[in-house]
């Protein structure tokens, strides 16, 4: 494996974070927010003020990019309400990397 | 986006991930102002799809990502939209209808209009359109509109406090809907159902209530009006029982739907 080559089938946390940042900028553009800092510790609710309907849009963008292997609805449906409120970009990055690896192996 | 008879509605549809042919369609209708299809999408919808259902969710006109026309917000407009949407999606057979809060009032209205297209009905923290319902909605919407006109900042704080864990952005969206459309006047002016029309709904009706909500007080009345009524009161919850107890709410709905489809 050569980490300097972009390889969509085996994305790293860095490439997923870059993808996700782009998707979040698309979602936030609707609100005119184009200069928000996005990193692994950024929270969806408190920092980005994303609404649940924005997360539906994000779910669509994730599926477009990675296919049905990445299912944001299932990921969030398995969480407690408080966990969703505290959800960070980093946690979603980990989930995406994990689901792509799992399905790759299977 | 789906064009439902002249209005563009945001629709999400999920099916079993393993490619099974769904055994029935379930349609999920959300509530007023701060609500959207997301209340289902991230709660009960994945379990419904996994149980072999074709799951249809949509944003009501003015809400979520759907078009927001300046007028046309009576209950009949909402029922027309649901009808047109199902036609557009070619869902012609009987469907399992689920409505949260005002969404349940829409679902009940659809069931009253189309008994042949309704397999079961679930009313979450909801009630049919009666004169008492219209008066109550009138009071709630009046308060929202008056406070918006006088002091938008306080009104937004009130919406946030009364509609659950929402951010300022969502409250602003709700405020825009209340201020820039006729919704606040239209809903209380909606045509309501006669007692005979309510009694004529004979499909199985599941009523889910938060034990701390005053809507749970409707159980005796609904029991007297409906032929097949199954109330469930979840203690410790209030009006937002759907998003706070999705596993329990979803489980009761799947029990109802399974029984209705003869596969329970």
Reduce the secondary structure of chain B to three states and give it as a string.
Answer: CEECCCCEECEEEECCCCCCCCCEEEEEECCCCCCCCHHHHCCCHHHHHHCCEEEEEECCCCCCCCCCCCCCCCHHHHHHHHHHHHHHCCCCCCEEEEEECHHHHHHHHHHHHCHHHEEEEEEECCCCCCHHHHHHHHHHHHHHHHHHHHCHHHHHHHHHHHCCCCCHHHHHHHHHHHHHCCHHHHCCCCCCCCHHHHHCCCCCEEEEEECCCHHHHHHHHHHHHCCCEEEEEECCCCCCHHHHCHHHHHHHHHHHHHHHHCCC
Q: Which residues pair with B3 in a beta bridge?
A: B8
**Chain A interface includes B250 (CB < 8 A):** no
A39: how many CB neighbours lie within 10 A of its CB? 11
* Helix pair angle (B168-180, B131-150), 10° resolution: 110
* pLDDT (tens digit per residue) in B21-41: 998 999 999 999 889 999 999
pTM of the complete model: 0.91
Beginning with the edge strand found earlier in the chain, give each strand of the sheet holding B11-14 in spatial order.
B11-14, B53-58, B24-29, B95-100, B118-124, B205-210, B229-234
User: d(Cα B257, Cα B94) in Å, to the nearest integer?
Assistant: 12
**Chain A interface includes B165 (CB < 8 A):** yes
* pLDDT (tens digit per residue) in B200-239: 999 999 999 999 999 999 999 999 999 999 999 999 999 9
- Nearest by CB: B65 against A53, A71, A76: A53
Q: In which element (H, E) is residue A48 found?
A: none
Q: What is the pLDDT of residue B169?
A: 74
User: d(Cα B158, Cα B19) in Å, to the nearest integer?
Assistant: 45
User: d(Cα B2, Cα B9) in Å, to the nearest integer?
Assistant: 5
Using a CB-CB distance cutoff of 8 angstroms, which residues of chain A are in contact with residue B167? 45, 49, 51
Q: Are strands B53-58 and B11-14 parallel, antiparallel or unpaired?
A: antiparallel
Q: Is B176 a residue whose pLDDT tops 80? A: yes
Inter-chain residue contact B167 with A71, CB threshold 8 Å: no
User: What is chain B's mean pLDDT, rounded?
Assistant: 91
ipTM for this model: 0.85
**Fold observed for domain B2-129+192-261:** Rossmann fold (3.40.50)
Tell me which of B263 and B145 has the higher pLDDT: B145
Using a CB-CB distance cutoff of 8 angstroms, which residues of chain B are in contact with residue A51? 36, 38, 166-167, 169-170, 173
User: d(Cα A17, Cα A32) in Å, to the nearest integer?
Assistant: 21
**Chain B interface includes A53 (CB < 8 A):** yes
Inter-chain residue contact B38 with A77, CB threshold 8 Å: no
Q: Enumerate the domain spans of chain B.
A: 2-129+192-261
Q: Is B2 a residue whose pLDDT tops 50? A: yes
Q: Is A51 a residue whose pLDDT tops 90? A: no
CA dist list (Å): B205 to B26, B116, B119, B153, B208: 14, 15, 10, 40, 10
* pLDDT (tens digit per residue) in A69-101: 999 999 998 888 778 888 999 999 999 999 998
Can you tell me the mean pLDDT for B122-148?
92
Select from B46, B49, B244, B245 the residue whose CB has the most chain A CBs within 10 Å, as the one to mutate to test that interface.
B46
The domains located in chain A, with CATH, are 13-105 (1.10.1200)
């Amino acid at each position: 494996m050569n980490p300097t080559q972009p390889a969509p089938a085996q994305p790293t946390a860095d490439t997923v974070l870059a993808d996700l940042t782009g998707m979040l900028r698309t979602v936030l553009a609707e609100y005119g927010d184009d200069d928000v800092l996005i990193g692994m510790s950024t929270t969806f609710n408190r920092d980005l003020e994303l609404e649940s309907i924005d997360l539906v849009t994000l779910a669509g963008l994730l599926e477009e990019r990675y296919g049905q292997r990445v299912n944001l609805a299932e990921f969030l449906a398995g969480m407690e309400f408080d966990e969703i409120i505290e959800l960070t970009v980093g946690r979603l990055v980990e989930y995406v990397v994990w689901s792509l690896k799992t399905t790759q192996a299977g | 986006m789906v064009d439902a008879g002249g209005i563009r509605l945001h629709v999400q549809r999920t099916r079993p991930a393993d490619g099974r042919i769904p055994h029935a369609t379930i349609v999920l209708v959300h509530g007023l102002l701060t609500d959207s299809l997301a209340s289902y999408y991230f709660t009960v919808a994945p379990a419904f799809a996994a149980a072999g259902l074709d799951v249809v969710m949509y944003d009501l006109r003015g809400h979520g990502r759907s078009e927001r026309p300046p007028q046309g917000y009576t209950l009949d407009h909402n029922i027309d939209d649901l009808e047109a949407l199902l036609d557009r999606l070619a869902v012609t057979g009987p469907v399992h209808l689920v409505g949260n809060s005002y969404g349940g009032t829409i679902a009940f209205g659809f069931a009253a209009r189309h008994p042949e297209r309704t397999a079961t009905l679930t009313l979450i923290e909801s009630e049919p359109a009666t004169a008492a319902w219209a008066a109550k909605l009138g009071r709630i919407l009046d308060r929202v509109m008056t406070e918006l006109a006088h002091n938008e900042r306080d009104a937004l704080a009130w919406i946030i406090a009364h509609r659950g864990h929402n951010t300022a952005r969502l409250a602003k969206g709700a405020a825009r809907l209340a201020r820039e459309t006729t919704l606040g006047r239209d809903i209380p002016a909606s045509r309501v159902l006669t007692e005979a029309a309510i009694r004529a709904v004979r499909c199985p009706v599941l009523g889910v209530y938060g034990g701390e909500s005053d809507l749970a007080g409707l159980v005796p009345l609904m029991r007297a009006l409906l032929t097949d009524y199954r109330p469930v009161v979840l203690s410790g919850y209030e009006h937002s029982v759907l998003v706070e107890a999705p596993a329990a709410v979803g489980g009761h709905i799947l029990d109802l739907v399974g029984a209705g489809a003869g596969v329970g």
